[in-house]
Amino acid sequence: MTKIRSSALEASALPSPDEESPATSERAMRRRPSHYLDALNSEQREAVETLDGPLLVLAGAGTGKTRVLTTRIGHILSLGRAWPSQILAVTFTNKAAREMKARIGDLIGGVVEGMPWLGTFHAIGVKILRRHAELVDLKPSFTVLDTDDQIRLLKQLLEAENIDEKRWPARALAAMIDGWKNRGLVPKRVPEGESFAFANGKARDLYALYQRRLKELNAADFGDLLLENLRLFQEHQDVLEKYQQRFLFTLVDEYQDSNVAQYLWLRLLAQGNGNICCVGDDDQSIYGWRGAEVDNILRFETDFPGAKIIRLERNYRSTGHILGAASGLIAHNKGRLGKTLRTDAGLGDKVAVEGCWDDEEEARIMGEDIEQLQRQGHSLSEIAILVRASFQMRAFEDRFITLGLPYRVVGGPRFYERQEIRDATAYFEVTLNPANDLKFERIANTPRRGLGESTLKSLHQLARAQSVPLFQAARLIVETEELKPKPRKALLDLISAFDRWRSLIDTMRHTELAELILDESGYTGMWQAERSPQAQSKLENLKELIRFMEEFDTLAGFLEHVSLVMDAQTEEGADRVNLMTLHSAKGLEFDTVFLPGWDEGLLPHQRSLDEAGRSGLEEERRLAHVGLTRARKHAKITFAQNRRNHGTWQTALPSRFIDELPVDHIAVAEDKGLRGYGPSRFDSAETLFASGFYETPGWRRAQRNRPPGSGASAKPGQITIDGTLVASSTAEGAGLAIGMRVFHQKFGYGRVVQIDGNKLTVDFEKAGQKKVVDSFVERA
C-alpha cells in the first residue's frame, strides 16, 4: 500500500475549486475544512457528502459531474475516511483519468501520487492482473495485444482450422469474441445458439482455441483485461476479499458506458462495503454498439439494493434555448430515467436550423458563418463541427482549405494506432521479449529484407513442430540448409541484430537504444527513402514517440504503458476550428457548435435503425442530444437534400429529429433560395421548410411519401446515367490506335504508345507512362 503521511492528508483538507477567491488561504481552509463544499449547489453537495452505501448520481450534460467526482474524493480524504490508496476510481478514457488526477491535484494541492487506483478500467485491470497472473495462467510479464495482433492471431487460427477466410472473416470472429468478453462470457459459458453465427457453429470452439493460444503466447487482449480479472475474482475468493477490504470507496465515471463485464467486476468489488458511487447520464449513452449496456444504469437500484439516486439537473453550460431544444428532443426517448435540465443563464439564441442543397453547400454556409464569427472576434477553438460519420468531414476540410481557415481534426486514428508507431513498438517489444511471436511477425519483413511468405511459413512450421517461439525457430533454422542462402542470411542478420540490441538494454539509455534500433533495422531508412508527404509525417511521429519515451525510465516501463495509455497529443493552443464526430465530442463543450447532416438515414443512421430498431433509434437520438448539449451559446443544425453516398447522389429528407425539436426553441433560416438552380425542380423540403409549413403533419407525410427518385437526383448541370456506362471494348473494337489521345479515370489524359492485345501502354500527361487495360480508357 502506498504510504501517505498525515501531512498529505492535511494538505488534502485544502481543496480549492476554481471559482474560489484567491484570498482563501491554505490556513483558512484548514480551519474550515468543509469550505470547498460551499462552491457546490445543494444536489452536488449531497452527492459529495453521501459517502455510505450505493449512490447513483444522474448527472445531465453540463451539470458538474466531474466536479462532483473530484470533490467527493477530496471530501473522503479530508475527512480521513480513507487513504488515497484505498479509493478505487475508474474512468473509461485515459483523458478522463488524467483530468481527474489533475483536478484532484488542484483540490488537495500537489500531484496525486497517492491515488494508485485511479485509472481506466483496463489500466486497473492490468495492474491487478499482473499481480496475480499465475492464477489465470499467465506470467506477470504478459503482453497486451492490440487489435491488429488480435486479428492476425485469429487469421492464423482460421487458416489452421481450414476455414474459408473469405466467407468467415477474422474481423467478424473478433467482433463476436469481443462481444462475449464484454458480456463476461468465457468460452464454455457462451450459449450454444450464438455459436452458429460463424462458420457453422465453430465460433465457440474457435473462441476457446483463441484463448488457449493467448495463454501460450503469454498475452491478453483488451477484453481479457476485464474478463480475466473477473475470472480471478470469481475463482479466488481470497484475492477478491483482499481487494474488497482495500477499496473503502469506489467511484465510477460515465457509468452509462459500462458493459456487463465491467458491471460484474464492480459489483464483486462493491460487495465488500457497498460504498460505490456511480456517476453517469443515461441520456448520453452512445456506445451501445460496443457493448455498453444502458440497462446497467437503468437497473442500478435493483442491482445495488438500498441505492440512493441523486439527480443533477442544474446545467451550467448552455443557454435556455439550446437546453430547451435538447431536452425536447431527448424527451422522445422512452427508455430513460428522466431528468429535466434547467439553467439560470438567459434564453440566449435559438437553435438555428437550415436546409442546404448538398454537402458542399452545407460546408460553404458553415464556412461563411465561421468567417463571420471570426470577424466578430469569436475564437476558432471555441467552435466545433460535430458530424455523425467521418466521411462527412471531407467536405468541410476541402472548404476550409480553400478558405484558408485553420482547423483541427479531433479523434481519428490514435497516435498509438498508427502504423509506424506500432511497427516501432513491435521492434522494441521483440528486443525485450523475443518470444512475442505476433510482434516478431509484424516486423520480420518490415522493411523488406527478403523474408517473405514462404520463409515465414517454414518458420511457423518449425516453431509448431518444436513448440518454441518463432524467434527460437529462426535460430534453429539458420543452422540448417532448410532455407535458400538469401533468406537464410537475412534471417541470421535479423537475429543477431536483435541479440545485439538486447545486450545493450542494461547499458544504454533506453531512448538512445530505441533510436539505434529504428536506425539499424533500416526502419527509419525505409521511410526516408519514400519521399511522400506521409512518410515525412511518419518520421515526425517516430521522433514524437522517442520524445514520449523520455517520460519513462526504461524500455519495459514504456512498453507497459504504450498500448494502454498513449493517445494523440492534441496540440493545444493554436486557434483552430474543431472538427470531430459526435462520439468523440462527448465530454467537451464549445461556445458555438455546428451540427451538419441531420438527414434521415445519416443522423438516425440507417444502419443503426436496421440493426437495432427502436433502441438503435433511441441511441441515435441520444447522439443528437449529446451534440446539442455541447454548445454553450450558439448551435446550428443543417441538413442537406442531396448527399453523395457511395458515389451516387441520393436525395435525403430532413432528420426526424428536426421535427422533434420544440418549435419555440428553434429558428428556421429564411430561404436563401436555391440560387439559380433550375426552377422548382423539387418543391419540397427547403421551400416548404422555409415557408413555415414544415411543422405540419401533412408536410411530414408528404416528405415520407415522396418517391425516392423525385426531385433532382443529380447535381444540376451534371449528367449522370444511373447504373451502367455500357461501352465495353477491346482495343481494336474501340478503335484505339497508337498515338490516340485517351482518358483514364485515375490517370487522366494521355496518348497511346503501344497496344498489346487488350493491354495498352499509355503516356499520361500527369501520371507518366502506365500499362492499363483497354476497358479502363476511353477516347478523348
379 vs 446, beta carbon nearer DNA: 446
Binding residues among 258-317 for DNA as defined by CB under 7 A: 259, 286-287, 289-292
Q: Which of 10, 46, 49, 66 is catalytic?
A: 66
Per the annotation, the verdict on 630 as an active-site residue is yes
Q: What are the backbone angles phi and psi of residue 591, rounded to the nearest 5°?
A: -65, -45
Q: Which three cell numbers stand for residue 662?
A: 420544440
169 vs 274, beta carbon nearer DNA: 169
Please pick, from the candidates 80, 201, 406, 450, the single residue that binds DNA as defined by CB under 7 A.
Answer: 450
Q: Which three cell numbers stand for residue 676?
A: 439559380
8 A C-beta contact, residue 12 and residue 108: yes
8 A C-beta contact, residue 145 and residue 211: no
Binding residues among 718-757 for DNA as defined by CB under 7 A: 745
Distance CA 240, CA 235 (A): 9
Taking residues 113 to 142 in sequence order and writing x for each that binds DNA by CB under 7 A, - otherwise, the string is -------x-xx-------------------
Please pick, from the candidates 564, 631, 734, 736, the single residue that binds DNA as defined by CB under 7 A.
Answer: 564
8 A C-beta contact, residue 283 and residue 622: yes
- Alpha carbon 618 to its chain centroid, in Å, reads 21
371 vs 756, beta carbon nearer DNA: 756
Q: Does 458 bind DNA (CB under 7 A)?
A: no
Binding residues among 675-714 for DNA as defined by CB under 7 A: none
Distance CA 70, CA 67 (A): 5
Taking residues 179 to 218 in sequence order and writing x for each that binds DNA by CB under 7 A, - otherwise, the string is ----------------------------------------
83 vs 168, beta carbon nearer DNA: 168
74 vs 487, beta carbon nearer DNA: 487
313 vs 417, beta carbon nearer DNA: 417
Per the annotation, the verdict on 65 as an active-site residue is yes
Q: Report, in Å, the least distance between residue 262 CB and DNA.
A: 9
Among 459-467, 660-668, 677-685, 769-777, which window interacts with DNA (CB under 7 A)? 769-777
Q: Report, in Å, the least distance between residue 167 CB and DNA.
A: 9
Say how many CA atoms lie within 13 Å of 732 toward its Cβ.
Answer: 2
Please pick, from the candidates 22, 404, 647, 676, the single residue that binds DNA as defined by CB under 7 A.
Answer: 647
Q: Report, in Å, the least distance between residue 479 CB and DNA.
A: 19
Q: Does 771 bind DNA (CB under 7 A)?
A: yes
H-helix or E-strand containing 502?
Answer: helix 485-504
580 vs 658, beta carbon nearer DNA: 580
**Interior/surface letters 633-651, b for 16+ CB within 10 angstroms, e for the rest:** bbbbbbbbbbbeeeeebeb
Q: Report, in Å, the least distance between residue 390 CB and DNA.
A: 3
45 vs 605, beta carbon nearer DNA: 605
Tell me the number of residues near DNA by CB under 7 A: 57
Q: Which of 45, 65, 488, 633 is catalytic?
A: 65
**Interior/surface letters 97-120, b for 16+ CB within 10 angstroms, e for the rest:** bebbbebbebbbbeebebbbbbbb
Please give the C-alpha separations between residue 658 and each of 203, 329, 470, 568, 639, in angstroms, as whole numbers.
Answer: 42, 8, 58, 34, 9
| The three-state (H, E, C) secondary structure of 578-589, written as one string | EEEEHHHHCCCC
Please pick, from the candidates 495, 770, 778, 779, the single residue that binds DNA as defined by CB under 7 A.
Answer: 770
Q: Does 66 bind DNA (CB under 7 A)?
A: no
Q: Does 581 bind DNA (CB under 7 A)?
A: yes
759-764/748-756 β-pairing: antiparallel
Per the annotation, the verdict on 636 as an active-site residue is no
Q: Which three cell numbers stand for residue 665?
A: 426553441
8 A C-beta contact, residue 306 and residue 643: no
Please give the C-alpha separations between residue 106 and each of 27, 99, 103, 112, in angstroms, as whole numbers.
Answer: 16, 11, 5, 9
Please pick, from the candidates 3, 646, 675, 766, the single residue that binds DNA as defined by CB under 7 A.
Answer: 646
Which residues have CB under 8 Å from 224's CB, separation 6+?
181, 214
At how many degrees (to 10) do helices 170-182 and 260-270 cross?
A: 30
Instruction: Identify the residue whose cell numbers are 449529446.
Output: 626
350 vs 621, beta carbon nearer DNA: 621
Q: Which of 43, 221, 224, 253 is catalytic?
A: 253
Q: Which of 86, 256, 284, 638 is catalytic?
A: 284
351-358/314-315 β-pairing: unpaired
Q: Report the length, in residues, of the chain.
A: 780
Q: Which three cell numbers stand for residue 226?
A: 476485464
Binding residues among 412-441 for DNA as defined by CB under 7 A: 414, 417
Report the SS3 class of residue 201.
helix
Among 339-347, 458-466, 661-669, 772-780, which window interacts with DNA (CB under 7 A)? 772-780
Q: Does 452 bind DNA (CB under 7 A)?
A: yes
Q: Report, in Å, the least distance between residue 511 CB and DNA.
A: 23
Please pick, from the candidates 24, 34, 41, 93, the single residue that binds DNA as defined by CB under 7 A.
Answer: 93
Q: Which amino acid is at 191?
A: P
207 vs 222, beta carbon nearer DNA: 222
Q: Report, in Å, the least distance between residue 735 CB and DNA.
A: 20
Q: Report, in Å, the least distance between residue 453 CB and DNA.
A: 4
Q: Report, in Å, the least distance between residue 457 CB and DNA.
A: 8
Taking residues 154 to 173 in sequence order and writing x for each that binds DNA by CB under 7 A, - otherwise, the string is -----------xx--x----
Q: Report, in Å, the least distance between residue 231 CB and DNA.
A: 18
| Distant-in-sequence contacts of 728-736, Cβ < 8 A, 24+ apart | 728/775, 729/774, 729/775, 730/758, 730/774, 731/755, 731/757, 731/758, 731/759, 731/760, 731/774, 734/774, 734/778, 734/779, 735/779, 736/760, 736/774, 736/777, 736/779
453 vs 670, beta carbon nearer DNA: 453
55-59/219-220 β-pairing: unpaired
Distance CA 75, CA 69 (A): 10
Q: Which of 183, 630, 632, 656 is catalytic?
A: 630
40 vs 438, beta carbon nearer DNA: 438
306 vs 647, beta carbon nearer DNA: 647
Q: Which of 185, 189, 266, 188 is nearest to 233 (CA)?
A: 266
Taking residues 589 to 618 in sequence order and writing x for each that binds DNA by CB under 7 A, - otherwise, the string is ----------------x-xx--x-------
Please pick, from the candidates 50, 379, 537, 584, the single residue that binds DNA as defined by CB under 7 A.
Answer: 584
Per the annotation, the verdict on 284 as an active-site residue is yes
Q: Which of 289, 336, 346 is nearest to 311 (CA)?
A: 336
8 A C-beta contact, residue 68 and residue 312: yes
Q: Which of 146, 254, 303, 420 is catalytic?
A: 254
Please give the C-alpha separations between residue 526 and each of 274, 518, 519, 523, in angstroms, as whole numbers.
Answer: 56, 10, 10, 5
Binding residues among 500-539 for DNA as defined by CB under 7 A: none
Distance CA 61, CA 64 (A): 8
Neighbours of 83 (CB within 10 A): 19
Which residues of this chain interact with DNA, rule CB under 7 A? 92-95, 120, 122-123, 147, 165-166, 169, 222, 225, 254, 257, 259, 286-287, 289-292, 388-391, 411, 414, 417, 445, 448, 450-455, 487, 564, 567, 580-581, 583-584, 605, 607-608, 611, 644, 646-647, 745, 770-773, 776
Catalytic residues: 65-66, 253-254, 284, 630
